[in-house]
Amino acid sequence: MKRATRTTSATRSHSASAMRWYGAIVSVTGIIFLSFWLPHHSFGPIVPLALFLICAAVACFRTHDWLLLMPALLPVIDLTAWTGHLYITEFDLALAGLLSGLGLRTALRTVVTASPPDAAIKLPVLGIACFSLLFISYAIATWRGLMPLPVLDENVMLGYSSHLNALRVTKGFWCALLVLPFFHHALRQGGQTALHRFIWGLLLGLLLVALSGLWERYLFPGVFDFGSDYRITASFWEMHVGGAALDGFLALTLPFALWWVIRLRSLQAIAFAFPLLALAIYITLVSFSRGLYIALAVQLVMLVMLWHRQRTRTEGPARSPDQTWLPALLVLLVLLGIAALVTVFKASGYRALLAYLGLALLVFLGAPRLAGMRLSQAVIGVAFGSMLALGVIFAADLLSISVYVVYTASWLLTSLLWLLLVFRPVENGVRIFFVAMLLVLAVCIAWVAWYWKNPQAAWHVAGPIALILAIAGLPIARRQTLWSVTPQTVAAAGTATIVLSLFTIMLGNYFMNVRFMDTRKNLHDRMTHWHLSLGFLERTENWIFGIGAGSYPDSYFWRAPANQFPGTLRFNRDNGNGFLTLGGPRHIQGFGEMFRVGQRIPSDMVPPLQLSFSARTAQNAGLHIEICRRHLLYPEGCAAQGIEIKAGPMWQQYSTPLRQNEFDQSAVLHPTVFAMALNGRSMDIDNLSLTDAQGRELLVNGDFSNAFNRWFFFSDKFHLPWHAKNLWLHQLIENGLLGMLSISLLGLAAVRRLTLGGAAAHPAAPTLAAALTGFFVVGLFDSLLDVPRLGFLFFLLCWLSLSLHAPRRTS
């Protein structure tokens, strides 16, 4: 026993020593990184220094708060759309600060102690094997992408054709590896407290992204405008050339919002959690991403099955044979609910849908109180309700009262009766009156449909109304309560209602119908793109090891058909004078397909606006200039103008007032972007100046004296040159079969452990399994891991999944 104790103590001592050395190295590395990047930040040294120091202080002096801060900052902190820096962003600075603080604290006072009983975290042998294989794959792919090393000039971090793009694309994995020792140590030493802190960080990040998306919707198409061709990007600047960064993040985090709501034990707590869930589901559905819709459906089914299995194992076999049919009953109710809501919405729009949901809410809350009611009393209630409904209709028509007023008054009266049922559950008179008022509400719904559209609409909603009334009658017919009104059932029913209602609205709007009708064509185009991308693997070694991380955009540049060339940009110098060289696209370009270069400008400009610049071109070309209210993609109202540039070897000066056209001068809260696009072969541009009526200069670094600082490129709708549009295909092309297999093994191992392995009994296992599965479903239609922030979070969740164990049972 003493020898075992000494061995354990020696192991802990060696672990503590290794962590101290690792912490010291990481801390010094973070400070070196800060000193390197500090002079180059577009906003000066104060902003990045403050960010670094705050994160370092939190990590150093607050034991577990960094686990909350890191995932909360991850999706929202980057300012690339303002700074123009693609390769090193604010999240890198924040992560460097966290690592420096963690390293300093670890180096000074690390003591490895025994894990608390609730830790449920162990060093995963399978996880080490999977990440070792990934390490080999990423190391080879990074080396192949970097070689030959590029010339370290102003263009080395401009665009995605640089060999340094290998480091940008893979930094999600490398940063995750740097964080993993601290992450694992914190979860093991902190137990459930540390795990919950990390989950709260994910929820906070989801909330910030959802608020960003809601703000974007509010400013541009409108919160309830579901017909516009507008797809949000929220806080993910990486979508400036397309991709599914927002979709992947929502797939990874939305199950945790469901987890939060379901695990709560009080209605007050649910009242705080439910708005986040509703907002997150809203943002998910207004993304108009078919892949994300499929992922959400898979996640919901997976969560129901895994939670039910966990509950069955925890509570033992079902007490009643009826309870064994619960999953099938839930699936049946979801299918019937979709059919009913779609029928009501198509028949008479939002008004009847809201009225129908109001009836459904009262049925859910009140039907369990009818379980002891005799059938004769129910018949009396139906008869009384029928007469009351006819009387209400006659009186409303006689007094010219709106149907909406009648419905609202009836709903409030029925709600009052439900409250009486809660406090006086066996009062037969109240039960009969409650049944009667449910029938009155049902008639009002048909009346709303008739009033809003036509008599046929009332007949169309008759089926869904009969369905909800039949559900209300089940407790009476079976003389037992089929469900109870608890915080958990309220949360589950509310979640289902939100998802089904918003999904119904999505199915009923024009834009989504067009997207679903175009699915076959889009899939054909995607398969054509996949076939083209596979052509990049010309040699056997490319199939095994890949063409190199970050090499996809450059390979597309050289191998894509001429009519799909997207356009380029480059910084050049002529006798010490810096200028921008734009290369024009060769595909058929509409307004949205243009390859644009621009920057954010003040929204409160005072027209008229005056533009001046210098240009030269070897062939006649056109320069498209625009000032638009836009967040990232999809402009709203522009001051646009085309300028013809004559060919010649010398610089030519141009000065022109910009026509206002549809530019909304009053929308000062809307972000505003100045952009230019080339219609031609190539053009040099310098000395850009944009002034308003007050003589205020609106552009920063218009002479390109500070290289490409503050300038940013984007394409609204032409996105294929930058993505393989499939996670496994992108891994195959850049990392080879080795990379594709290592990612697949990592995902399979993590999901299997959460569903069938040693972590299946952990309360967080269903949520993690649904998150990773949803991420891979979205990955069927986009690359995902070429977004470093997304890759970083994905690898952390995979490690957590492989480290998780069933919690110890305490007697």
Q: How far is Cα 28 from Cα 103, in angstroms, rounded to an integer?
A: 8
Residue 397, burial from CB neighbour count under 10 angstroms (0-12, 13-18, 19+): exposed
342 alpha carbon, distance to own chain's centre: 26
In terms of domains, do 154 and 186 share one? yes
- Is pLDDT of 748 > 90? yes
Portion of the chain with pLDDT greater than 70, in percent: 86
**pLDDT tier for residue 455 given thresholds of 50, 70 and 90:** confident
- Is pLDDT of 131 > 50? yes
Structure tokens at 435: 């049944």
Q: What per-residue confidence (pLDDT) applies to 369?
A: 80
Q: What per-residue confidence (pLDDT) applies to 4?
A: 47
pLDDT tens figures, 693-720: 888 999 999 999 888 899 999 888 778 8
In terms of domains, do 466 and 588 share one? no
- Is pLDDT of 371 > 50? yes
- Rounded mean pLDDT of 474-501? 71
In terms of domains, do 10 and 100 share one? yes
Give a yes or no: residue 363 inside a domain. Answer: no
Give a yes or no: residue 153 inside a domain. Answer: yes
- Rounded mean pLDDT of 480-502? 69
- Cβ atoms 380, 489 nearer than 8 A: no
Q: What per-residue confidence (pLDDT) applies to 1?
A: 45
- Cβ atoms 225, 636 nearer than 8 A: no
Q: What per-residue confidence (pLDDT) applies to 811?
A: 41
Bond before 148 cis per omega within 30 degrees? yes
pLDDT tens figures, 24-60: 899 999 999 888 888 888 888 898 899 999 999 999 9
Q: What per-residue confidence (pLDDT) applies to 425?
A: 62
Structure tokens at 185: 């140590």
- Rounded mean pLDDT of 198-227? 91
Provide the CATH number for the domain around residue 693.
2.60.120.260
Name the one residue in this structure whose structure tokens are 């962590």.
Answer: 19
pLDDT tens figures, 495-519: 677 777 766 766 666 666 666 677 7
pLDDT tens figures, 531-578: 888 988 888 899 999 999 999 988 888 877 766 777 888 998 888 888
Helices assigned H by DSSP within 221-325: 245-263, 267-285, 290-315
Question: Which whole-number Å values give the CA distances from 690 to 140, 285, 353, 665, in the listed order?
Answer: 47, 39, 50, 16
Residue 382 or 735, more confident:
735
- Cβ atoms 279, 210 nearer than 8 A: yes
Angle ∠(316,320,325) on CA atoms, nearest 5: 90
Give a yes or no: residue 353 inside a domain. Answer: no
Residue 72 or 464, more confident:
72
Strands laid side by side in the 621-629 sheet: 636-645, 621-629, 672-679, 595-601, 712-715
Number of domains in the chain: 4
Q: Which of 92, 110, 82, 78 is nearest to 38 (CA)?
A: 92
CA dihedral angle for residue 40, residue 26, residue 100, residue 181, rounded to 10 degrees? 130
In terms of domains, do 418 and 508 share one? no
pLDDT tens figures, 762-783: 889 999 999 999 999 999 999 9
In terms of domains, do 315 and 422 share one? no
Domain boundary (49, 81, 111) is at 111
Give a yes or no: residue 357 inside a domain. Answer: no
Terminal Cα distance for the chain, rounded? 25
Q: Which of 529, 537, 532, 531 is nearest to 738 (CA)?
A: 537
**DSSP one-letter string for 755-804:** HTSTTTTSTTHHHHHHHHHHHHHHHTSS--TTSHHHHHHHHHHHHHHHHB
Which range (178-182, 531-535, 613-617) has the least confidence?
531-535
Question: Which whole-number Å values give the CA distances from 713 to 242, 311, 708, in the listed order?
Answer: 12, 51, 10
Give a yes or no: residue 265 inside a domain. Answer: yes
In terms of domains, do 562 and 585 share one? no
Q: What per-residue confidence (pLDDT) applies to 115?
A: 59
In terms of domains, do 62 and 23 share one? yes
- Is pLDDT of 273 > 70? yes
pLDDT tens figures, 651-705: 999 998 887 766 677 777 889 999 999 888 899 999 999 998 888 999 999 999 8
Q: How far is Cα 413 from Cα 410, in angstroms, rounded to an integer?
A: 5
Q: What per-residue confidence (pLDDT) applies to 15?
A: 67
- Is pLDDT of 521 > 70? yes
Helix axis angle, 165-219 to 267-285, nearest 10°: 110
Whole-number average pLDDT of the chain:
84
In terms of domains, do 737 and 608 share one? no
Q: How far is Cα 657 from Cα 677, in angstroms, rounded to an integer?
A: 18
Domain boundary (71, 88, 111) is at 111
Give a yes or no: residue 770 inside a domain. Answer: yes
- Is pLDDT of 399 > 60? yes
In terms of domains, do 659 and 541 share one? no
Q: What per-residue confidence (pLDDT) applies to 519?
A: 72
Q: How far is Cα 721 from Cα 353, in angstroms, rounded to an integer?
A: 43
**β-pairing verdict for 672-679 and 621-629:** antiparallel
In terms of domains, do 179 and 319 share one? yes
Name the one residue in this structure whose structure tokens are 């370009």.
Answer: 589
Tell me the three state secondary structure of residue 650: strand
**pLDDT tier for residue 120 given thresholds of 50, 70 and 90:** confident
- Is pLDDT of 134 > 60? yes
- Is pLDDT of 316 > 60? no
Residue 551 or 377, more confident:
551
Q: How far is Cα 165 from Cα 727, in angstroms, rounded to an integer?
A: 18
- Is pLDDT of 346 > 50? yes
Q: Which of 750, 751, 735 is nearest to 785 (CA)?
A: 735
In terms of domains, do 412 and 390 share one? yes
Angle ∠(92,96,97) on CA atoms, nearest 5: 120
Domain boundary (428, 463, 480) is at 480
Q: How far is Cα 522 from Cα 106, in angstroms, rounded to an integer?
A: 51
Residues 6+ apart with CB under 8 A from 118: 191, 192, 807, 808
Q: What per-residue confidence (pLDDT) applies to 174?
A: 96
Backbone phi and psi for residue 572, each to the nearest 5 degrees, phi listed first: -130, 165
Which range (162-176, 329-343, 463-477, 589-603) has the least confidence?
329-343
- Cβ atoms 70, 175 nearer than 8 A: no
Give a yes or no: residue 384 inside a domain. Answer: yes
Residue 773 or 488, more confident:
773
Q: What per-residue confidence (pLDDT) applies to 235?
A: 92
Give a yes or no: residue 361 inside a domain. Answer: no
Domain that holds residue 601: 568-717
In terms of domains, do 332 and 274 share one? yes
